[in-house]
């Protein structure tokens, strides 16, 4: 809810949510600290900035929740969210029919260096939509 606040923005790298990746996994994928990466699975994909650190185990990524959903304008870009929202990667299913609490936000994903064009996908999560105020 406070993704637009100074505390949240301070943790971003080039405006995108950071994803922590183990050095062994990063090396295998030619990912460096600060690289723009694409996390993806069959549900969707998002762009994040890589943080290479041994604070996570090999074969594990850590992506915090909180980045506001920011879909690209071009549906054919292959990206579901350009800001790093993990909800595009996880199941949208409650814990039970009674409770409807959120299920665990863990899932299988792949990660790769993003080689697409980013100038065509500027971040817009904090920009209000253009509203046509003309009345007919």
Q: What is the pLDDT of residues 5-58, one digit of tens each?
A: 777 777 788 889 999 999 999 999 999 999 999 999 999 999 999 999 999 999
Greater model confidence, 49 or 121: 49
Whether the CB-CB separation of 51 and 128 falls below 8 Å is answered with: no
CA distances (Å), origin 11, targets 56, 63, 130: 17, 12, 28
What is residue 23's three-state secondary structure? Answer: helix
Question: pLDDT-derived band of residue 1, with 50, 70 and 90 as boundaries?
Answer: low
The answer to whether 71 touches 83, Cβ cutoff 8 Å, is no
Q: Quick one: pLDDT at residue 85?
A: 92
Q: What are phi and psi of 73, to 5 degrees?
A: -70, -35
For the chain, give the longest Cα–Cα distance: 60
pTM for this entry: 0.85
């Amino acid at each position: 809810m406070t993704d637009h606040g100074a505390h949240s923005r301070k943790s971003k790298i080039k405006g995108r949510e950071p994803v922590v990746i183990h050095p062994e996994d990063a090396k295998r994928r030619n990912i460096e600290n600060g690289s723009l990466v694409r996390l993806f699975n069959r549900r969707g994909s998002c762009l994040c900035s890589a943080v290479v650190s041994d604070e996570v185990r090999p074969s594990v990524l850590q992506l915090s929740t909180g980045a506001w959903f920011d879909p690209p304008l071009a549906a054919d870009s292959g990206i579901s969210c350009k800001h790093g929202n993990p909800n595009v990667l996880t199941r949208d299913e409650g814990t039970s029919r009674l409770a409807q609490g959120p299920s665990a936000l863990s899932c299988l994903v792949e990660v790769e260096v993003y080689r697409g064009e980013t100038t065509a996908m500027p971040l817009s999560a904090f920009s209000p939509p253009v509203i046509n105020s003309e009345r007919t």
